[in-house]
């Protein structure tokens, strides 16, 4: 049994495609203001380990847009809540360079062990319109190939996504011990 500390149902469903015996724990943790996802995840894990016994993971993710010097990056949750996808599309009006990537940092720990971090990325581009009805967050404006992530079902997204990459790296490490 592995605990996944997250308040995000979409993340949890994707993680279930990778880990069979998973339980969501919506207990919250302090997301510090920092320059990197790694710092946010590592700090959050320290707090979570004081409250949960047993194998546990949490994840911090972000969208990094090249033409915006990596914005929204570590501010992705706040930006999604405030200006949302339509705000990002507006910021990108007239911008030729649409390159962007998602990054995922998973922190894993169990009692008596120093937390370990696992990372994943998916490269793509910001479209000119939102498309699809699936996924969550920025999925409908982030395109890989012809499709937005919002047009992909869970299985398709889990083949290419940043989260699938970081979680598969954790799984391989766990299986290889
Ligand atoms: P936690 O409880 O796990 O922290 P969260 O939704 O706050 O859930 P993050 O801080 O890691 O998660 O995510 C930052 C933002 O990026 C947030 O608005 C997400 O919706 C968005 N995001 C993360 N992963 C995404 C994905 O795979 N597709 C689209 N948007 C994503």
If you take atom 17 of ligand 1, which residue's CA is the nearest one?
77
Ligand 1 pocket check: which of 37, 77, 143 to mutate, most ligand atoms within 8 Å of Cβ?
77
Atom of ligand 1 nearest to the CA of 81: 18
Residue-range domain boundaries for the chain: 2-175
Catalytic residues: 60
Q: Is the CB of 24 under 6 A from ligand 1?
A: no
Say if CB 7 and CB 147 are below 8 A apart.
Answer: no
pTM of the model: 0.98
Mean pLDDT of the chain: 97
Task: List, for residues 6-58, the tens digit of each pLDDT value.
Answer: 999 999 999 999 999 999 999 999 999 999 999 999 999 999 999 998 999 99
In CATH terms, the fold of domain 2-175 is: Maf protein (3.90.950)
Ligand 1 center from residue 153 Cα (angstroms): 17
Residue 36 parent element (H or E): none
Q: Grade residue 76 by pLDDT with cuts at 50, 70 and 90.
A: very high
Sort strands 116-126 and 142-144 into parallel, antiparallel or unpaired.
antiparallel
Q: What is the mean pLDDT of residues 83-96?
A: 98
Using CA of residue 49, residue 174, residue 120, residue 160, what is the dihedral sign? negative
If you take atom 7 of ligand 1, which residue's CA is the nearest one?
77
């Amino acid at each position: 049994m592995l605990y996944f500390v997250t308040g995000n149902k979409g993340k949890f469903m994707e993680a279930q495609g990778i880990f069979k015996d998973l339980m969501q724990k919506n207990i919250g943790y302090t997301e510090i203001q920092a320059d990197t996802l790694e710092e946010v995840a590592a700090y959050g894990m320290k707090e979570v380990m004081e409250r949960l016994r047993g194998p546990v993971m949490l994840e911090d993710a972000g969208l990094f847009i090249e033409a915006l010097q990596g914005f929204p990056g570590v501010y992705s949750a706040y930006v999604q809540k405030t200006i949302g996808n339509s705000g990002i599309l507006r910021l990108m009006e007239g911008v030729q360079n649409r390159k962007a990537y998602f990054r995922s940092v998973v922190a894993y720990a169990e009692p008596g062990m120093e937390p370990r971090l696992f990372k994943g990325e998916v490269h793509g581009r910001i479209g000119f319109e939102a498309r699809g009805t699936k996924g969550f967050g920025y999925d409908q404006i982030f395109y890989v190939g012809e499709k937005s992530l919002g047009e992909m079902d869970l299985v398709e997204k889990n083949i290419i996504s940043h989260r699938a990459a970081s979680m598969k790296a954790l799984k391989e490490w766990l299986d290889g011990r």
